[in-house]
Each structure stands twice: as structure tokens, then as C-alpha cells.
Structure 1
Amino acid sequence: MMKSIVLVLLLLNTAFSFSQSAEECYKSARKESASDNNKSALKWIDKAIAVDPNNEEYYDFKGLILTEQGESQKAYDAFSMGIAINPKASYIYLNRGNLFLGTMQFEDAVADFTQSSIVAETDSAKYSAIMNRAAAKLQIREFESAYEDLMKCYAFDSTDLGTLTNLGAVCDEIGRGDETLKYLLKAVEIDPSYYGAYGNIGFKYQEMGEYQKAIEYCDIVLKFSPDDPIGLSNRSYNKLMLGDAKGAMKDIEKSIKLYPLNSYAYKNRALIQLKNGDTEKACADLLMAIEKGFTETYGQEVNELIDKHCKH
């Protein structure tokens, strides 16, 4: 029995140092990532995985690093490995869902956010997943279902900024436009530095035809975040509506450079090209908007512009 006991103690000690070494590598990876040194962080997390390949948290962190580096397939593989190790790790489904959002795989994002909400360890985690699911549904025009999700989140926490901002985005789409500003203004009242809500307020005024007021809110967004591509795209459109085609083009060119996946920006640039009389370039941008998924997210406007200006 003494030998057995000694052997068990040795195994336990070995396992402890094994785990400790992996944890030290993980801490180094997090430290490097916090310093924006993702290349080094990736090396450290790979070392942690090599020492302890059965810790799902390490794969999740690797997936986050790879997502930030734009390595979508590798990030997907890392998240999926973490889920395979622990199918009840709600936070990994959430992070993989966010990856799908970024790559415009919205149906897959909805599926992951749903699973995250099912296995969530806390109510806070559950409603974070439901809120993200609503954001994905907005992208595929499932507005009523998104609204239902968001109202569940609002009932849980009426001060959550993401919920308030997304409610502001969906209300116009379901015949509740009179509620839009209520939610958005509440968001900026709670946190005056939350510039995402200012952007949606600006878009609301844009939809109302109050273009100068919309520009003022876009300017607030860009004061907080000068390279915000959505703020630049929206300001571009409003400048065009006020007759400033040159200023509009400057904003939209920067926006597209920063975020070339944004189909709405190509539509906006096409409108500027049409204003400038350059139909050929406008039609090329309209086709690019279709290629980038405009119709699935925003509806038929670009197809109607193509029918009007490009089929002759």
C-alpha cells in the first residue's frame, strides 16, 4: 500500500506541476495579448495547449487571438476544438457566434448564440447570448423575432446598452418607429460616451430627412472614434443629400478602405457616382453591394437602382 500511495502522490505532484506550467503559459499569453502583441500571445497559448491539450479555455483564447488577426478558419477550428472538449462551455459558443457575425455567416451565428443561451451558467450569460442572437437576426431581416429576443433582454436588464441600441435599430422595421429614439436616448443618458447609440440616433434623423441633424450625430460618433467606418458611411450619405458630393466621396472612400465588407457603403458610393454622372462606376459599385450581401441584409433598394440605371 505504501508504494501505491507514494505512486499516487507522485502522479498528483506531476499533474500539479503539469497544470501549473500550462497556466503560466496561459497567463503569459494573456499578458502579451493585452499589450497588443498577438504574435507572441499565440506562441504562448500554443505552448499552454501543448502542455495541457484538454483545457477548453486555452482553445477559446486562441480563437479570440486568431479572430483579431483575421484568421477566420483557424479561429473557427480553435473554438470548435474547445467546444468538442466541453460542449457546455457557453462562452465558446458565444465567441464562435461572434466570429460568424464578423464573417457574415448569420444563420450559423444564430445557431451558436442559441446553444450558448441553452447551456449558459448564469442569467447574465444567457441574456448576453440572446442579445447577440437578436443582432444576428437583424442582419437576416428576422425583425419580429429579433424584437422578441430584445424584449426578453430588456425585461432582464432595462439598462443594458447593447439591448437599448439594438431595440433602437429594430423598432423602425416593425412599425414601432415612435419608440426608436426612446431607447437610443436612454442609452446615451446612461452612458454619454456610448457612441454606438449616437450613430443610430443619427440614422433615425437621416430616415426622417433631417440630414444636418443626422450629420451632427455622425460627428459625435467620429469624435469618439475617428475611424468608425459606419459613422463615415452614414455621414457621407447625409452630406450627399445636402449637396456636398465632394465631402461625401471623401468620407465614403475612407469608410470602404476601413471596412470593405460593408455592402451599404458601396450603395452610398454608387449614389455619389450617379450624382457625378459616372453611371459605369455607379453600376460597378451597385453590383459590388449585391456581392457583399446587401439584399439579404437591407432589402431590394440596390436591385431597384440597378434596374433603373444599369439595364440599358
Structure 2
Amino acid sequence: MKYLVLFIVIMATYSASAQTAKEYYQKGNEFLKEKTYALAISSYDAAISLDSTYVFAYNNKGRACYESASQEEIIPGEQMKKLKAKLFEEGKEAFDKVIELTPKDADAHYSRGRCYWAMNYFESAIIDYTTTLEFDPKHLDAYYNRGLAYQEVNRNDGAVEDFNKILELRELSANTSEKYTDIYTLLGFSKRLLGQFDEALLDLEKAIEINPKDAAAYYHRGTIKAGTDAPEAGLLDLTKAIQLDPEFTKAYYQRGLTYRMQKDYKNALKDFSKVIEINPTANMGYISRGYTYANMGKAKDAIKDYNKALAVNPKDAATFIRKGYANVDLKAYDAAVVDFTAAIDLKTPFSSYAYNNRGNAKRLLKDYDGAMKDVNQSLQMDSLNAFGYSNRGLIWMDKEEQETAIEDFNRAIELNNQVAEFYYNRGTYYLNLKKYDKATADYSKSMELSPEYKQKEIPKLLKVAKKGFLSGK
């Protein structure tokens, strides 16, 4: 409506002197140069109303729409989002017309690609950037933006190719030596996602050499180090990234994960709380802080954070499952069943885990038939789910069907021999049958794999098993 009113005003203002399309176009260019975008757009519309094939007017209208939408927010919240979306759509439509009139205009395809990018239509942006490069193989901005779009759709091989192409072409062009200074950071990011860690580190070191204040380069390098064999070095890089950019949410988040991995829960909580402070609508902050509380044995605090995360995204099946775990820890088994059921109802790839865990909660409620039905459903959906076999073994054991139980415990360990819980469950089975030597071996293996798992119970049970073994009873 705003642009329609301006269009009418402009037409009325100049009608007395019978303005031509070219004159409206030139007036639009003046407004565009002054960054008075609304008046520029209306002037181009006036030109187009007089000449529907005025390709330059369409092109510059597209530019004005894009540049206007790319301004910093000047009105709050949703209203600004809607205005930006409308402007990007109008810009895209203007470039549609340019391409219709001049199909081989490389810059028009590039400009429309930028509109698609801004609208989060990354695949469409890639198509336009690719067309741009067909008509202009040395269009560095098209390589750059296509590389960014490839990253958005997780096609990092393509991103690496495009960023390397820029480096190749840049060496041939003295006029572009100061552009694309973040290329090595972007290369490092894509190679990190591809698992090419050594190459990524070399690129990121180059990025930091070029720009020692590149927070993103420190972040990516820190993430690689933290996830490999140098967590302390990773923490240093992540801290440097935060020092350079105190609002760097991803750096706080990754540093929080690293602290948690090192069982430094106090600092992990601080970082996840900072993530929430910077972006209260980002549910990952609540989820990760909740999971940290769960690791600390603070299930009630974990549930509070999971509920906040679910308020942001009520269709997050994984968080319902985590909340169910916390309720199991609190022995609130009925509440856990409700949580696991909510996860099942969402019909996501997590359904197998939800059925398995609901089965476990029902077992703890002594609803053995319901438990067996759920665990069987889980195994039907995923026959390689080792936790399903272990849980079913517990059900058989509770029902005193020992021979069937041992088959499931053995199957769980065959599928995954690195889970302390599986050996603990089988050890308890052996202890109940007074097979003390086997119970001792399984409890010892459980402690070896995870010294913190059942750290109060296992030493006592191990003592009982060893005593029984030595007595021969």
C-alpha cells in the first residue's frame, strides 16, 4: 500500500509535464543513489507503467527492493520481517522480468539468486548462480555466493570447489586482491564438516594469519580441536572467538559442550546460560543446559529447561525423550510414559528409541505386558537397537524367564560391547543365578567402561559376587 500511494503521488506530481518513462527512470536512479528506496521503487513502477518492456527500470527496481530489504531493522519484530519478505519477493519478480526480456543477462540471474538466498530458497539461488557462471565464468561473486548456498544445503564439496575457484581466479586479477578475505575461514568450515580436519586446520591458520581478529576462524579451529584430541587448545580458541565477538552464540555453545565433555559442569552451565541470554528463543540453549543438569544428577532442573525448550519447539521428539529420561531418574514413571508417548505421537525417526524407553518405564511400573509390547515394537522398527535387547532382557528377568533373558543380554553386547549398562544388567542376571564368577567379570567390565556408572551400587554387588565365588556357594 505504501508504494502504491507513492506511485500515485509521483504520477500526479509529474503528469502535468507529461513525464516520459525515461524521465521516471532517471528520477528513480536519483532516489536510488540517495538511498531513498521507497521513492525509487515508485519511480521505477511509474516508468514501467508507461513502458512494460523497460528492462533497465525492472533491473533497478529489483536493486532498490533488495537494498531496501537489506537495511538494518528500523521497525520492530514481525512487522519488519514481513516488510523484508515482501521487498525480496518484489525484487525477485523484477529480476524475473529482466530475465524474461534478456535471458542471457548474467547479472540479472546473479541478482535474482541473491533474492532467493535472502528468502532462504537456497537451491533456487544455486540454480541462478550456476546460470550466471555459464554466461560469465569469471563472476567471482557468483562463485562466492554459490559456495555459501552450498554450505546452507550441506553440499560442502561444491562449496570447497567454489571457494578454491575464487582463490585461483583472484591470483589472476590484481583488482580483487582485497576481496573475499574470509575465503580461508569458509574453506576451513566446509572441510571441517567434511571431516577433512588436517586440511581445515591449515586453512583456518591461514585465515588467522590474514586476519588475527577473525572470530569465526578461531571458532572453527577451536571446534575441530575440541572434537579431536586437543580439548584444552580448543577451549583457548573458543575463548578467543568470544573475546573478539562477545555475542558469538555458537562459540559459547561449543565451549559449553567442550566443558561438559570434560565434566566441568559449572562452566558448561555458564556458557549455556549465556546462549539463552543472547537468544532466549534458541531452544538448543535450554536443551544443552538441561542435559548438563541431568549429567549432574539434577533431574528437576533438567526438566524445567526441557519444558522451556518444548515451549519454543513443541514438536521436538528428542527433547520429550530426554525429559522422559529425567522423569525416570526421579522415579516418576507415569510422567515418563507421558513424555515417551508424546515423542511417539510425533512420528519421527526417534520413535524406535521412544518405544524402547516407554517400555522400560512400563517395566518399572510392573506393566510387563505393556513393556514387552513396546520393546518388541522398538526392535521391529530397528532390529539393531542394542538397548532394546538389553531392556527386553530385563523384562524377561523380571518375569523370571531366565533362559530367554540371557539371549537378549548376550545379543545386546554382541551389537555393542562398549556400553557399561549392558554388562551391569547381565552381571545382575548372573548374580541372581549365583553364577558369581560371571557376575564378577561383568561388573568389572562395567566399571572399566564407565567408572561413574552405578558407582555406588557396583562395588557392593561386586563384593557380594566375589564373596560368593570364594565361598563356592
TM (norm. structure 1) is 0.73
Q: Is 1:210 equivalent to 2:210 in the alignment?
A: no
TM (norm. structure 2) is 0.51
Residue 204 of structure 1 and its aligned partner are, at CA, apart by: 0.4
Residue 214 of structure 1 and its aligned partner are, at CA, apart by: 2.8
Residue 184 of structure 1 and its aligned partner are, at CA, apart by: 1.7
Cα pair 2:221 2:237 within 8 Å, conserved: no
Q: Is 1:50 equivalent to 2:208 in the alignment?
A: no
User: Could you tell me which residue of structure 2 aligns to residue 84 of structure 1?
Assistant: 240
Q: Which amino acid aligns with 2:186?
A: E
Distance 2:205 2:367 in 1: 58
Q: Which amino acid aligns with 2:413?
A: E
Q: Paired residues, what number?
A: 284
User: Could you tell me which residue of structure 2 aligns to residue 181 of structure 1?
Assistant: 337
Match of 2:349 among 193, 205, 213: 193
Deviations 1:157-205 (A, max 9, x none): 4433233222212224436433222222112112343233223212102
Distance 1:140 1:81 in 2: 26
Q: Which amino acid aligns with 1:166?
A: R
Cα pair 1:63 1:76 within 8 Å, conserved: no
Corresponding residue SS for 2:289:
helix
Distance 2:380 2:179 in 1: 50
User: Could you tell me which residue of structure 1 aligns to residue 284 of structure 2?
Assistant: 128
User: Could you tell me which residue of structure 2 aligns to residue 268 of structure 1?
Assistant: 425
Residue 253 of structure 1 and its aligned partner are, at CA, apart by: 1.8
Identity within the alignment, % = 16
User: Could you tell me which residue of structure 2 aligns to residue 159 of structure 1?
Assistant: 315
Pair 1:77–1:251, CA change in 2 (3 A): farther
Distance 1:98 1:233 in 2: 29
Match of 1:237 among 370, 387, 394: 394
Residue 267 of structure 1 and its aligned partner are, at CA, apart by: 0.8
> Where in structure 1 do 4 or more consecutive aligned residues deviate above 6 Å?
none
Distance 2:175 2:293 in 1: 48
Distance 2:265 2:322 in 1: 16
Distance 2:464 2:432 in 1: 14
Distance 1:203 1:279 in 2: 26
Distance 2:270 2:389 in 1: 33
Residue 283 of structure 1 and its aligned partner are, at CA, apart by: 1.6
Match of 1:248 among 379, 386, 408: 408
Pair 1:186–1:279, CA change in 2 (3 A): same
Residue 74 of structure 1 and its aligned partner are, at CA, apart by: 2.2
Pair 1:152–1:110, CA change in 2 (3 A): farther
Q: Is 1:149 equivalent to 2:305 in the alignment?
A: yes
Residue 115 of structure 1 and its aligned partner are, at CA, apart by: 1.2
Pair 1:28–1:284, CA change in 2 (3 A): closer
User: Could you tell me which residue of structure 2 aligns to residue 289 of structure 1?
Assistant: 446
Residue 18 of structure 1 and its aligned partner are, at CA, apart by: 3.7
Cα pair 1:110 1:137 within 8 Å, conserved: no
* Structure 2 unaligned spans of 5+: 1-173, 469-473
Residue 96 of structure 1 and its aligned partner are, at CA, apart by: 4.2
Q: Which amino acid aligns with 1:249?
A: F
Distance 2:376 2:426 in 1: 19
Distance 1:144 1:251 in 2: 34
